[in-house]
């Protein structure tokens, strides 16, 4: 009704931007949160562990719109490092300019997600590092780096993958506030506009599309379990 087009066409026009934003946010969150969680677990109850836990607490308790406004004020207005807003440029049209416009929204979404990944990866690593097979590997003289990255980390990734799948599904649903602040024509902003304009067909179609995304992501997460943990493959036979 609002755009004079079929609902699916309107959704598919907006979805690539939201998908790009979700992927960038996921990469940033995992690149920050996973190493931070492992670092904190290997230095349990030390000052560095406390610093990482404080970072995670601040990240999870800071609303997205607060971090977005602070990022705009510091990185765009203060230092002029990144553009805050402006007419959106598709990735295929100008990749560098597109990434410059997407980095602040991706940092905003990735910051809170990184805090959650830090906490869950730290907790999982602490559980794994106390297992008997880890103590046995250390007793045999296996280097600490190999114990962590080869023996402990693969088993600690299961809860991280679960959290990542749920969070990625939410991101694909559209980050409404972030897309609104940064004037990004993505799926979340489109749904908000459809609600305000009472375009019920577009709202219903968007809800179904978002639900389909959640189902696909959950399926991929279940398949990833079998790849990460051979015991799950054996248990299914």
Q: What pLDDT sits at residue 231? A: 67
What is the model's pLDDT at position 168?
Answer: 87
Average model confidence (pLDDT) for the chain? 85
Q: What is the pLDDT of residue 94?
A: 82
State yes or no: pLDDT of 122 exceeds 80.
Answer: yes
Break the chain into its structural domains and give their ranges.
Answer: 15-184
State the sign of the Cα–Cα–Cα–Cα dihedral 78, 28, 49, 42: negative
What pLDDT does 235 receive? 55
Give me 138's structure tokens. Answer: 């250390």
DSSP secondary structure letters along 163-216? HHHHHHHHHHT--HHHHHHTT--SHHHHHHHHHHTT-HHHHHHHHHHHHHHHHH
Contact predicate 202/4, CB 8 Å: no
What would the pLDDT profile of 176-222 be if each residue is shown by its tens digit?
888 888 888 888 889 888 999 999 999 999 999 989 988 998 888 88
Give pLDDT tens digits for 54-98.
Answer: 988 988 888 888 888 888 888 777 776 676 666 777 877 888 888
Of all residues in the chain, the percent with pLDDT exceeding 70 is 92
Domain 15-184 fold: MetI-like fold (1.10.3720)
Q: What is the pLDDT of residue 11?
A: 92
Give the predicted TM-score (pTM) of the model.
Answer: 0.84
User: Which pLDDT score, from 0 to 100, does residue 8 have?
Assistant: 93
How does residue 164 score in pLDDT terms, banded at 50, 70 and 90? confident
Q: What is the mean pLDDT of residues 150-170?
A: 84
Predicted local confidence at residue 25, as pLDDT: 92
Q: Closest by alpha carbon to 123, among 44, 29, 226? A: 44
């Amino acid at each position: 009704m609002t755009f004079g087009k079929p609902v699916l066409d309107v959704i598919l026009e907006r979805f690539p931007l939201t998908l790009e934003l979700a992927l960038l946010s996921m990469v940033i969150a995992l690149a920050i949160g996973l190493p931070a969680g492992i670092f904190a677990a290997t230095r349990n109850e030390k000052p560095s562990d406390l610093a990482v836990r404080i970072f995670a607490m601040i990240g999870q308790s800071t609303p997205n719109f607060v971090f977005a406004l602070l990022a705009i004020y510091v990185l765009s207005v203060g230092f002029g490092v990144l553009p805050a807003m402006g007419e959106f440029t598709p990735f295929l049209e100008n990749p560098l300019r597109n990434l410059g416009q997407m980095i602040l929204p991706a940092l905003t979404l990735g910051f809170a997600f990184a805090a959650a990944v830090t906490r869950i990866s730290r907790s999982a690593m602490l559980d794994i590092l106390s297992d008997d097979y880890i103590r046995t590997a250390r007793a045999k003289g296996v280097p600490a780096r190999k114990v962590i990255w080869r023996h402990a980390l693969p088993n600690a990734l299961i809860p991280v993958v679960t959290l990542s799948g749920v969070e990625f599904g939410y991101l694909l649903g559209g980050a409404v506030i972030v897309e609104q602040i940064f004037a990004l024509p993505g799926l979340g902003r489109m749904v908000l506009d459809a609600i305000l304009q009472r375009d019920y067909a577009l709202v219903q179609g968007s809800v179904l599309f978002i639900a389909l995304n959640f189902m696909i992501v959950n399926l991929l997460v279940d398949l990833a379990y079998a790849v990460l943990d051979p015991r799950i493959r054996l248990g299914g036979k």
